[in-house]
Amino acid sequence: MEEVPREKTHLYGIVGGEAAPQGPFGERLLRIRELVEKPKPEEAPSNLSITGRYVLPPAIFDCLERTKPGAGGEIQLTDAMKILAKEQGLWAYIYEGISYDAGTNWDF
């Protein structure tokens, strides 16, 4: 995950959670409690965006099968991840560095 300006939360999946410090990850490791796909800034649980790098357990496929279409009438991975977070737990890492959003011409 990475921090984005609050006014840009509508461009990303956004997470809410609390620090779950462990070993070398320190305060950058979070236990995810909430995921919202492209929320309005006033509805975003934080300004931490999902950057699209995932390491998910096989259980995500069962969660996807139970996921109903959401934003844009599509089945959203973030909706399946909400189920996984509730049932088994889900963690995220706030990384240091620069990311480039391949979804924009400038960054691409």
Give the model's confidence band at 71: pLDDT under 50 very low, under 70 low, under 90 confident, else very high.
low
Query: pTM of this prediction?
Result: 0.80
Higher pLDDT pick, 96 / 17: 17
Residue 68 lies in a domain: yes
Cβ proximity of 22 and 29 under 8 Å? yes
Domain holding 51, by residue range, is 2-93
Judge whether residue 72 has pLDDT over 90. no
Report how many domains make up the chain: 1
Predicted local confidence at residue 57, as pLDDT: 95
Output DSSP code: residue 26: B
Does residue 92 sit in helix, strand or coil? Answer: strand
Residue 99 lies in a domain: no
Judge whether residue 106 has pLDDT over 80. no
- Specify the residue for token string 């969660």: 63
Query: Taking residues 10-24, what's their average pLDDT?
Result: 88
Residue 108 lies in a domain: no
- Point out which residues pair with 17 in neighbouring strands: 32
What phi and psi values does residue 94 have, to the nearest 5 degrees?
Answer: -90, 110
Query: Taking residues 42-47, what's their average pLDDT?
Result: 95
Residue 103 lies in a domain: no
Predicted local confidence at residue 68, as pLDDT: 93
Residue 65 lies in a domain: yes
